[in-house]
Structure 1
Amino acid sequence: MDIGQFIKGMPKVELHAHLNGSLSTKTLIELGKLEYGESNNEFQRICESFQQKQEFTLEECFKKFPIAHALTKTKDGLRRALLSVIRDFALDNVVYLELRTTPKTTTKMSKTEYLETVFETIRLASSMYPDICVKLLPSIDRSKGIEFAKDTVHLVLKALKTHADLIKGIDLSGNPASGSFNDYTKILSEARNNNLKLALHCAEIDNDGETYEMLQFGMDRCGHGTYMSSQNLNIAKEKQIPIECCLTSNVKCGTVKSYQEHHFKNLYSSKHPVVLCTDDSGVFDTTLSEEFIIAQKTFDLKKKDLEVLSLRAVDVSFASPLEKEVMKTKICKYFYD
C-alpha cells in the first residue's frame, strides 16, 4: 500500500469544517436538481460552469457559498445538505467530525427551527453512517453584530438542556475585519461559564493587536493562526493553545504564499499542538485525506508523524473521554495491526 492509499484508509478526526463550505460541487449539483428540478435553466448554467472546470479562481470558489445558502433555506434542503456533508466525510474515513454552522433565520425557518433541524439530522445520520461521530459547534458570525451573537448564544444555551451530547462549543467566525473582538468577550464568557468550549478564528488576518487580545482572553482552540507575531506565537505556545491548520484554504485564499511556507511546518517541528483540517472542503475542492497527503509530501512526514497528528487531534477535540478512547483505539489498530 502506498502512502496515499494508507492515508485515505486512515481513521481521521476533523475539527474545523463549516457546513455550507463543506458542500462539494457534486453535492451542490445533486441538491440543486432536487430543489429546482432539471428544467431550471439558470441552475443548469451554474452546474455546467462547475462541471467544466477542474480549477477555480478564489472569486469562483466563493460563488459556491450563495448557492449553498439558497439550498439550505428550507428544512428539507438543510437536512439533505447536512446528510450529504456527513456522508462525504464518512466516505473519507473521518471517524469524528466537529461541524460548524451559524443558526439563521431564512424565509422558511426561524433560528430555532434551523438549529433543531440540525440536531434531528445529526441524530438521523448516526444510524445511517454509524462509523462517524458528529458534534456541533454553533457559530457566531461576527459580521452580523453583537445582538445576533447574543441571540445565538442564548439559543444554544437553551438547547443544551436537551442536546448537551451534541453541542460541544462555540465557534467565532465570519469576516474577521468586522467589528471588534472586545465586543464579544462578554457573550463568549457567558458561553464559557456554561461549560462550552471556545474555538475562535484568530490571526486569520494581519491584526496583531486583536490577536493579542484574543490570546489573553483565552480559547480552547485557535482557528488558522496565520498572522501571528513572534510575541503572540509565544503566548499561544505558553498557553498551549492548539492551532487548527487549513493548508489548502490558506493557500487558495492567499493568506499563505505556498504549502512550503505554511506555518504548520514551524508549529509541528516545535511540537506545538497543531491539527490538520479542511475548513471548507467543498469550496476549496479538498478532503481531509488530501490535506494529510499534501502535508506528508510537502513536509516529508513519516507514518509516525501521521499517527502523532491523528492522536493529537483526538486529544484536542471536544469529545468525551469515552469517545476519545474509542477513537484512539481505532487509530492505533489501523497503525499497528
Structure 2
Amino acid sequence: MMDFFQNVPKIELHAHLNGSLSNRTLLELGAMKYGKDNPGPSNDECFYRITNGQNLTLKECFQKFKYAHDLTDQPETLRYATRAVIQDFAADNVVYLELRTTPKKTVHMSKKQYLTTVLETIRTAQNEIPSITVKLLPSIDRSKGLQEAEENVSLVIELCQEYPDIIKGMDLSGAPFGTRFSDFGNILKKAQAHRLKMALHCGEFEDDDEIQAMLEFGTDRIGHGTFIKGVNLQNAKKRGIPFECCLTSNVKCSTASSYEEHHFKKLWEEGFAVCICTDDFGVFDTSLTQELRTCSEIFGLTTQDILRLQENTIRYTYANDEEKHKLTEIFNNFRKTMKID
C-alpha cells in the first residue's frame, strides 16, 4: 500500500509557499542568510511547538510564518525557497501544483520584485523539473487591510500580461480575525474581471453570514470549509464548488478535533466536489502521500477511491484544456501500469 500512495500521481491545489518549506530547506536558507555558524532565529516557540506535533490554535499557526518570511526576504533566498518547494512536491510525485504566496515588500525587494522572482523561478523550473506543472495563485492577506489588497490585485493584473500561463487565480487568506469579507468584494471583482479564478479561504471559523457572502460572490473553490454547514453547505454542493480539504493542517490547528471527525468524511460520502491538499506541509510535517494514506486508514478509501479522488481533482484545477488532457493521460497510464480498471 505504501508504494501505491507514493507512486500514484498527485494534484495539489492548496499549498502556501512559505508554509511548504521543509525543515531542511529552512536550515539551508538560514545558512544562506546568516551564515552556517549562526543559521538564523532559533527562538520561535511556535515553530518548535508545531514541529513537535502539538496542537495549536489558528492564531498560533499563523505565527509560524514569521520565521519563513524572515528567511525569504531577499531575491536569492526566495528563489532558492521556491525551487526547493517545487522539488519537494515533485519528489512526492505531485504532477500538478497550484502554489500560493502573498506579494511582500521587504528591505531587499519591492512587491513586484518579490512576485516576479517567484514567477521566474516557476518558469525556469518548468524546463528543469518537467515532471510537474506549476501555477501561481497570488494571495491577499486580509489581515493587512484594504490598501494592501488593492495593491496586490493591481500588481497581479499587471503581471498577468507577462505570465498568463502561470498566474491563474487569486487567494484570499491570512488571519481572518477583525476583518469582513464584504470589504474585499469590490477589490476581488477587479481580478475576476480579468478572468482570474477565486480560491478563497472560506469557513475557517464559524460565521454563516460571511460564508454566505463568499458563496454568493462566486468563489470557484473553497479553502478548508471546516465550519460550512446547513443551507450554506447545501448551496455549495448545488453550485458544485470544490472543497480543498487539508486534514493534518486542520487537526494540528484544532479547527478539526480529530482526523475521524474531519469534515472530509461527510463531503466524500455525500458526493461533494472535494480534493485533498497539504496547506503547509513544512509547518505540519506532512506530505500529499501522507494525507492520502490518512484518507485510506481513517476513512476507509480503497486504492480505487484514492485514484478516483485524484482524477476528479483534474476538473478542479485552473489548468487549460491541453494541460488537463495531459493530466488525464498521466492517470490513464498509471492505471495501465498498475493494472487498475
- TM-score, normalization: structure 2? 0.93
Matched, 1:15 2:10: no
Distance of 2:177 and 2:249 partners within structure 1 = 18
Counterpart in 2 of 1:6? 4
Q: Which amino acid aligns with 1:323?
A: E
How much does 1:58 deviate?
2.9
Counterpart in 2 of 1:82? 82
- 1:216-227 aligned at under 5 Å gives the runs 216-227=216-227
CA contact (8 A) 2:19 2:65 kept: yes
Distance of 1:208 and 1:134 partners within structure 2 = 33
Farther off after superposition, 30-39 or 108-117: 30-39
Q: 1:186/1:151 Cα in 2 relative to 1: closer, same or farther (>3 Å)? A: same
Counterpart in 2 of 1:173? 173
How much does 1:335 deviate?
2.2
- 1:50-69 aligned at under 5 Å gives the runs 54-58=52-56, 64-69=64-69
Q: Which amino acid aligns with 1:268?
A: W
| DSSP-derived class of the 1:163 partner | coil
- 1:144-155 aligned at under 5 Å gives the runs 144-155=144-155
Distance of 2:152 and 2:63 partners within structure 1 = 26
How much does 1:229 deviate?
2.1
Counterpart in 2 of 1:249? 249
- 1:8-47 aligned at under 5 Å gives the runs 8-40=6-38, 43=41
CA contact (8 A) 1:248 1:291 kept: yes
How much does 1:336 deviate?
2.6
Q: 1:332/1:275 Cα in 2 relative to 1: closer, same or farther (>3 Å)? A: same
Counterpart in 2 of 1:292? 292
Counterpart in 2 of 1:199? 199
| DSSP-derived class of the 1:257 partner | coil
| DSSP-derived class of the 1:162 partner | coil
How much does 1:44 deviate?
6.4
| DSSP-derived class of the 2:281 partner | coil
Distance of 1:178 and 1:194 partners within structure 2 = 29
Distance of 2:40 and 2:108 partners within structure 1 = 22
Counterpart in 2 of 1:316? 316
| DSSP-derived class of the 2:252 partner | helix
Counterpart in 1 of 2:183? 183
How much does 1:228 deviate?
1.2
CA contact (8 A) 1:38 1:44 kept: no
Q: Which runs of 5+ in 2 are unaligned?
A: none
Deviation digits for residues 87-119 of structure 1 (CA, Å, limit 9, x no counterpart) = 100100000000000011011000011111111
How much does 1:63 deviate?
5.6
Distance of 2:229 and 2:39 partners within structure 1 = 50
Q: 1:310/1:291 Cα in 2 relative to 1: closer, same or farther (>3 Å)? A: same
| DSSP-derived class of the 1:100 partner | strand
Distance of 1:261 and 1:171 partners within structure 2 = 26
Distance of 2:36 and 2:228 partners within structure 1 = 48
Distance of 1:34 and 1:45 partners within structure 2 = 18
Matched, 1:104 2:100: no
Q: Which runs of 5+ in 1 are unaligned?
A: none
CA contact (8 A) 2:30 2:40 kept: no
Deviation digits for residues 281-316 of structure 1 (CA, Å, limit 9, x no counterpart) = 100000011000001111111122112111111110
Counterpart in 2 of 1:305? 305
Distance of 2:142 and 2:40 partners within structure 1 = 32
Q: Which amino acid aligns with 2:109?
A: M
Deviation digits for residues 203-252 of structure 1 (CA, Å, limit 9, x no counterpart) = 01111111111111111100001001211101101111100000000000
Counterpart in 2 of 1:215? 215
CA contact (8 A) 1:62 1:283 kept: no
Q: Which amino acid aligns with 2:174?
A: G
Distance of 1:63 and 1:286 partners within structure 2 = 19
Distance of 2:153 and 2:105 partners within structure 1 = 15
Q: CA RMSD in A?
A: 1.9
Distance of 1:247 and 1:205 partners within structure 2 = 16
